[in-house]
Amino acid sequence: MHSSNNVWRSQSGGIFAVLVLIAIEASSAKCLAQTSGNQPVTAPGSAAQNVLEAGDVYLPGSRVYVLVGKTGIGHEHGVEGQIKQGRINLNAARDAGLLLFDMASFTADTPEARKFVGLKKPEESSTQQQLVDSNMRGNGVLGVAKFPTASFVIKQITKVDKPSNRNLPQIQLDGDFSLHGVTRPMQVLAEVEEKNGWTHLIGRFTMLQSQFGITPFKKAFGAVGVTDQLSVWGDLWISKQRQAAPRPAATH
């Protein structure tokens, strides 16, 4: 680009430059509008994935699951959430990646969630499940309107000598977990399975809602509620090389 002195050398030149800038901005806005629908412009490891690079998390096939315990005469819940962006370099000892969670996508008592966390078929009606979702996403708990995402910044990955219960290799991911505007250090123990050009990573950690400024939901003077401690799993499929993104079922 020319310097401001050259651009504004004459009045006619200044008007011409302004018209050109307006045309460029209008064209850019049009392109953004066209790509903000079914095919948004995205960074590697984010929402729309046509081609995956090594280390990219395959988002349609990856999920977060949460076991929410009960207090009083409440009910246990299995919660399922989506990952908005993800990249993990399992070969890097430090600064190994980032996971960004879409908190508005978290849904209680899906069949997949309840099965994953070991619960039976839900007893609640669909109306009751919608109420649970509303309470969970509302200002009293997750507050997704103000905190639409959570994140896990992976600072260090170390190998664990002891294999998992399925006799698979294990690693420990150390990093900073940010939720509800609060960031705390977190350790995640994960088992690693290599499968058909993918790394299937299943990690688990426990957390206290109160440590992140969240008051566990209660009603009826505490007779119905959920526990402060939650068990959280990440079920991730990570590309081992550059490849076209498959259908979710192709990784399983």
pLDDT for 38-65, tens place per residue?
Answer: 333 333 344 467 899 999 999 999 999 9
pLDDT cut 70: percent of the chain above it: 74
- Single-letter amino acid, residue 68: V
- Single-letter amino acid, residue 91: N
Domain assignment of residue 202, yes or no: yes
Domain assignment of residue 46, yes or no: no
Do 205 and 237 reside in the same domain of the chain? yes
Domain assignment of residue 247, yes or no: yes
Dihedral sign of CA atoms 7, 11, 17, 22 in order: positive
Count: domains in the chain: 2
Strands (E), the chain: 51-52, 63-72, 77-88, 94-108, 149-160, 170-179, 182-195, 198-208, 218-219, 224-239, 243-244
Which range marks the domain in which residue 165 is found? 51-251
DSSP assigned state of 215? P
The whole-number pLDDT of residue 179 equals 98
Q: Is the pLDDT of residue 93 over 80?
A: yes
Q: What is the CATH number of the domain that holds 183?
A: 2.40.128.110
DSSP assigned state of 37? S
Output the six-digit token pair for 17.
């430059």
Mean pLDDT to the nearest integer, 185-202: 96
Domain assignment of residue 153, yes or no: yes
Do 174 and 218 reside in the same domain of the chain? yes
